[in-house]
Structure 1
């Protein structure tokens, strides 16, 4: 039976109400007061690195002393990544918060660890999701946060539930960490499998891609372009559509351009799509276009590499772009900015291709694809397990903090 619920504000220290922190922290100040941002918080485990927290001046911190945090307080992220929760450790006592986080100081008859778990229950999460405001900047305001429903129970029961969840959830978290480690290992295996396309061809000629394929540029979208003449409206691919190993067609934009322009930027089956910009590790990412959309165009930030069918197999080239050989080429030649990187058609043409005959290329593709499919199946299985662990974790937390589970007899029980 679910216990009666009270709003979160009934369970906090009456002298230290729920509040957010510093609105304008100013530049990072060595020797100043550290403060916590949503970006510093892990989903449910604290801060990423206390030593890396930004600091504000003592003057600014003093003006916001109402939101100074103490050992045992809770911090809840209320910005775009709302819902992350942590208990303040002794090392962070005296620190402060930013506007994107809120302090929740437990009252005298409230166990901080119980509140920590209660704010991770499905009840709290669903309440927050229904209360967030903002279209582009989604945030949880203090008023709905203060109304978050929490089951009311005595301090002794709160502690028993917290002890149970501390133990049982840690087992699930350890299992999740193991699955994540296995996924990372599979990613390494995948890279090794794909990289064998170049590693196993050390004694064959390395030929410049420009000698084996044509690089076609795409459409530049220009709202001021004159469209009064002979024009066509066609679907066209953007960088977001070109993923590793497949083309995502769930959201395809259409563009109206002169017919002559469309003629020189139309994709053909067998073209290898390679991205011009984005994250450094995605430069030159190659995916084979198989004619999924008729007369499809491509954005100028996506190059269409058209292999000479007498010399180069498209799937061979696409696999090569995922190898350490190609990644080293694009990462070393890419132009980097603060958050992004870009390549160019000339650098794509400069990629060296281990050139074996067409039949050997196709044999290599079949061999590597067989390995890739096995690894992909294992990755799907591990991802499914992670989802189930996450669901079980929240289910366990929810039934425990709402009093639906007798934690004195449920340790190690099956909650499925």
Structure 2
């Protein structure tokens, strides 16, 4: 029977870094933002920055430490990482990190794999405290976590085995990610080809920044001549009577998640609503079903079509189409031009904003109404095919990640002998 020891007896928890204090005031140290330890539990030093060693208010660590995220969702996603390659051997990062410094009796790689086991993650989740979405893993959970007392030689055998096996799995996951990237590129290219009339052979150069060419017979028309442009507003929050009996769907930036992946075209439900009184006492207006909306701040560039009558906040611009323009054709034009909207027209470094005067000057290619409808159907058919393939590849990735977690758990808990398992495909026999 394998005995265990509390983690605090074989490692230091949040110990501080004396080497940090020995640096001169002008020395640079590595600063790691959370995104540097986010992707696939690997340290991405390409995202590192340097700061002067006098920085305070951050978690300090050194080469050889293991960083364990405190907060959801990074803890739940098993984002613990072994640190190495820091400038001057020391670094600093978010206060939302636990630092574990392995002692002489524990192999750092073996301990890192323990932090990736199903049991560690589930026990940690059970100990979390705080409000939903901002829950944290307490220090005491780490200090009291039971670690199997294996010999260093056995720990290293397990770590070596898992290094090799997880590398194979990660190689497959990376290969599948390349497939996903190619599918996304093909999907985007197919939309551009469709709205630019790629089936037509008689073509001319386009005057639009986001298209190379269009059919010779298609005019390129300013959107304002084809649809009535509108926007929205937020009724004053200081007037509570304007926020009672709210039932009118109200599109805010909180709804962008519904249309972010471009699979959803029509929006029918909103989490927030406004009242008739609020609508009457603000610059918001009730737009008819079929109105196309585009977010121009925060999550700029995302668009959809109103499935029912709706109002919007001031973060959106809307177009109510006239008889020459099919709303869903306009929608796919806006989605095709999104890279251009964000790259050429959006302003700001952190939060992009597309300003109304620029949107008033937008132009689109204009085939006949019947051809617009045919193009919309073509886009839907080709997207359905690509989305089906995308879902299958994503499911394969999920299964591989589940296999990885199950393999790690099985190896460190002694469910099989890694010595006899080495060199064969053990993932086939690991339960998930």
Partner of 2:206: none
User: Greater CA deviation, 377-386 or 153-162?
Assistant: 153-162
| 2:304 corresponds to which of 268, 280, 287 | 287
Partner of 2:313: 299
TM-aligned CA distance change 1:192 to 1:180, over 3 Å: same
For 1:16-415, list aligned pairs within 5 A: 16=12, 18-19=14-15, 31-49=27-45, 52-57=48-53, 69-70=62-63, 72-79=64-71, 81-82=74-75, 83-89=78-84, 94-98=89-93, 99-135=95-131, 137-196=134-193, 197-198=195-196, 200=198, 201-203=214-216, 204-225=218-239, 227=241, 233-242=247-256, 243=259, 244-246=262-264, 252-258=271-277, 260=280, 265-279=285-299, 282-283=300-301, 285-291=302-308, 295-308=309-322, 310-323=323-336, 325=337, 327-329=339-341, 331-334=343-346, 336-410=347-421, 411-413=424-426, 414=428, 415=430
Q: Identify unmatched segments of 5+ residues in structure 2.
A: 199-213
Following superposition, the deviation at residue 267 of structure 1 comes to: 3.2
Partner of 2:10: 11
C-alpha contact (below 8 Å) 1:190/1:372 kept by paired residues: yes
Following superposition, the deviation at residue 339 of structure 1 comes to: 1.4
Structure 2: distance between partners of 1:207 and 1:37: 45
Structure 1: distance between partners of 2:381 and 2:35: 40
Following superposition, the deviation at residue 248 of structure 1 comes to: 6.1
* 1:67-123 CA distance string (max 9 Å, x none): 6524x3323333553452222335556313343333322222222211111111111
**Number of paired residues?**
395
SS at match of 1:278: coil
Q: Give RMSD over aligned pairs.
A: 3.4
The alignment's TM-score, normalised by the length of structure 2, stands at 0.80
The alignment's TM-score, normalised by the length of structure 1, stands at 0.83
> Whose relative contact order is higher, 1 or 2, with alpha carbons under 8 Å and at least 6 apart?
1
User: Greater CA deviation, 173-182 or 211-220?
Assistant: 211-220
Structure 2: distance between partners of 1:341 and 1:47: 28
* 1:276-319 CA distance string (max 9 Å, x none): 2124xx42x3212222xxx53322222331111x2011111111
Q: Identify unmatched segments of 5+ residues in structure 1.
A: none
TM-aligned CA distance change 1:126 to 1:226, over 3 Å: closer
TM-aligned CA distance change 1:198 to 1:239, over 3 Å: farther
C-alpha contact (below 8 Å) 2:232/2:312 kept by paired residues: yes
C-alpha contact (below 8 Å) 1:35/1:55 kept by paired residues: yes
Structure 2: distance between partners of 1:131 and 1:211: 60
Structure 2: distance between partners of 1:161 and 1:74: 18
* 1:346-403 CA distance string (max 9 Å, x none): 4333211101111111111111221111111111111111111111111111111111
